[in-house]
Structure 1
Amino acid sequence: MKECQLLKNIKQLKLKYFGHVVRHYNLEKLCLEGAVGGRRGRGRPRRRWTQVSQDIFDWLGFSVREASILAQDRDGFRSAVWEATSYKDPQ
């Protein structure tokens, strides 16, 4: 049960931060939407926000574009996040 609560908190924080970032025009939004040119060193590639878009789709059921539009309506986005992170008993 603790693992479920931890996962719920992580999902909630990630989605809330996404909503916060897309509602404002700032450096974080530019980093979220933009791409950095150049090459990266060897090793495992880092997880990028573009890959997190799959998480947003899985959790909310919206594409990143649709979720960005929904985030402009704070109450609607909060209810969508609450719905996505509420615990549903698998019975």
Structure 2
Amino acid sequence: MLQKILRIPWIARRTNHNILQELGMKESQLLKNIKQLKLKYFGHVVRHNNLERLCLEGAVEGRRGRGRPRRRWTQDISDWLGFSVREASILSQDRDGFRSAVWEATSYSYKDPP
């Protein structure tokens, strides 16, 4: 994504790590921001009764394709928060409680990973 924004051609063979160092960013900062945005959006969607919530909670009829099951969006939510999706949905109704859970999930109590 950053290569595209900075207009670095793919033939330059620059690594993501190299580009992040050049910009003065840590990889963990970027991942932390993405986690926060994803968790906040989950809370927003679950609090409202609309099409996005229906798509999030709905299931598709029929058989799935062969091979390993695909990673679901809700699996990230439950892994990061440490709750099931249903428990996270209930928690999101309390905005302050959900904000503190998101902050806890995205802050590192130990040294930032490399």
Do both share a fold (TM > 0.5)?
yes
1:36 Cα deviation after fit: 3.0
- Which one is further off, 9-18 or 28-37? 28-37
1:40 Cα deviation after fit: 8.0
Number of corresponding residues: 88
Q: Which has the higher contact order (CA 8 A, sep 6+)?
A: 1
Identical counterparts, % of pairs: 92
Normalised by the length of structure 2, the TM-score is 0.62
1:88 Cα deviation after fit: 4.9
Give deviations 1:34-87, integer Å, cap 9, x for gaps.
02336789999865434xxx2122211111000000000000000100111077
For residues 39 and 84 of structure 1, do their structure 2 counterparts lie closer, same or farther at Cα, with a shift above 3 Å needed?
A: same
1:68 aligns with 2:89: yes
For residues 57 and 44 of structure 1, do their structure 2 counterparts lie closer, same or farther at Cα, with a shift above 3 Å needed?
A: closer
Give the alignment's Cα RMSD to 1 decimal.
3.0
The structure with the larger Rg is 2
CA distance in 1, matches of 2:84, 2:111: 23
Normalised by the length of structure 1, the TM-score is 0.76
**Which runs of 5 or more structure 2 residues have no equivalent in the other structure?**
1-24
**Which runs of 5 or more structure 1 residues have no equivalent in the other structure?**
none
CA distance in 2, matches of 1:16, 1:23: 11
